[in-house]
Amino acid sequence: MTLLAVERIKLFSTRSPWWCAALALVITVGITALIAANTSTEFPLTVGVTQAFYTFGMYVVLVMAALAITTEYRFSTIRATFLAVPNRISALLAKTVVVSLLAGVIGELVAFGSWGISKLIKPDVNIAINTAQEWRNVAGVGAVFFVGAIFAIAIGTLLRHTAGAVALLLVWALVVESLVGIIPKIGDDIQRWMPFVNGNRFLTAGTEPFPGEPVINYPFGAWGSLGYFAAISVGLLIVAFVVAKRRDA
């Protein structure tokens, strides 16, 4: 508990988490508002549509999570941390928990903010959250942000450099995972095992695919996909921790 308090003080005594949280909210809710305002009978507003742009906020949160650890290396405060808490795994785990929880909270704010603004703009359209699938689609965003943050912290810990970690994360999540599917023959087989694709699958399983969206034959069900995404992220985190423990700070 002490270490969680330490990381909480650290995280909130700089401005970047506040800016990232605000940016994630404004971008996602703003774009959802534009979409909601322009829905029509041909393109109706649904619960799924209100959540379709969660990735915008997620990318910002991935950057925030990676920064939380890379700035420690950048300013050598990681050394001050390891001097105060020589058990490196505990110190890094505490940071992961605090940052991921914040990411989860931002995820819920983004999800319900997007849903709420849609409801305000189109009060006549019924987008009540009723079914378990709809709840998963909205409330699940927090879980995906939480797991994504773990993934980002693992990458940040391994690479230690802000530019490298952020570039890798964004190229991976934005480009690699979506373009790997265009490889002939094997592309689909690879894509269905991609971590962020599976995170997205957890949210969207059971909803109507958007026009033009590729149909992937996933290896797991909705919750299985989330579990798979989490297993990859935690696995990566364990590798990162072992590396951080062994190398010179």
* 19 near another protein, rule: CB under 8 A: no
* 248 near another protein, rule: CB under 8 A: yes
Instruction: Report the residue number, 2 or 41, with the smaller CB distance to another protein.
Output: 2
Task: Compose the 84-103 pattern: x for residues touching another protein by CB under 8 A, - for all others.
Answer: xxxx----------------
Instruction: Report the residue number, 94 or 138, with the smaller CB distance to another protein.
Output: 94
> Counting every residue, how long is the chain?
249
Tokens of 205: 């399983």
Of the ranges 12-20, 60-68, 138-146, 180-188, which one interacts with another protein (CB under 8 A)? 12-20
With residues binned 3-state (H G I as helix, E B as strand, rest as coil), the percentages for the chain, rounded to 5, are: 75, 0, 25
Sole binder of another protein in the list 76, 126, 130, 131 (CB under 8 A): 76
Sign of CA dihedral 172, 138, 134, 29: negative
Whether the CB-CB separation of 107 and 25 falls below 8 Å is answered with no
Closest CA to 66 of 243, 246, 237: 237
Of the ranges 57-65, 75-83, 158-166, 199-207, which one interacts with another protein (CB under 8 A)? 75-83
Instruction: Report the residue number, 9 or 171, with the smaller CB distance to another protein.
Output: 9
Total number of residues that touch another protein (CB under 8 A): 27
Instruction: Report the residue number, 6 or 26, with the smaller CB distance to another protein.
Output: 6
Cα separation, 168 vs 170, whole angstroms: 6
How many Cβ atoms sit within 10 Å of the Cβ of residue 116?
14
* 5 near another protein, rule: CB under 8 A: yes
* 2 near another protein, rule: CB under 8 A: yes
Sign of CA dihedral 181, 185, 189, 190: negative
Whether the CB-CB separation of 106 and 192 falls below 8 Å is answered with no
CB of 101 to another protein, least distance (A): 17
Of the ranges 3-11, 184-192, 198-206, 233-241, which one interacts with another protein (CB under 8 A)? 3-11
Sole binder of another protein in the list 70, 82, 157, 189 (CB under 8 A): 82
Closest CA to 216 of 235, 230, 234, 202: 202
Of the ranges 22-30, 141-149, 201-209, 240-248, which one interacts with another protein (CB under 8 A)? 240-248
Cα separation, 143 vs 101, whole angstroms: 9
Residues 6+ apart with CB under 8 A from 74: 161, 162
Sole binder of another protein in the list 34, 80, 128, 171 (CB under 8 A): 80
* 13 near another protein, rule: CB under 8 A: yes
Contact residues: another protein, CB under 8 A: 2-3, 5-6, 9-10, 13-16, 71, 75-77, 79-87, 246-249
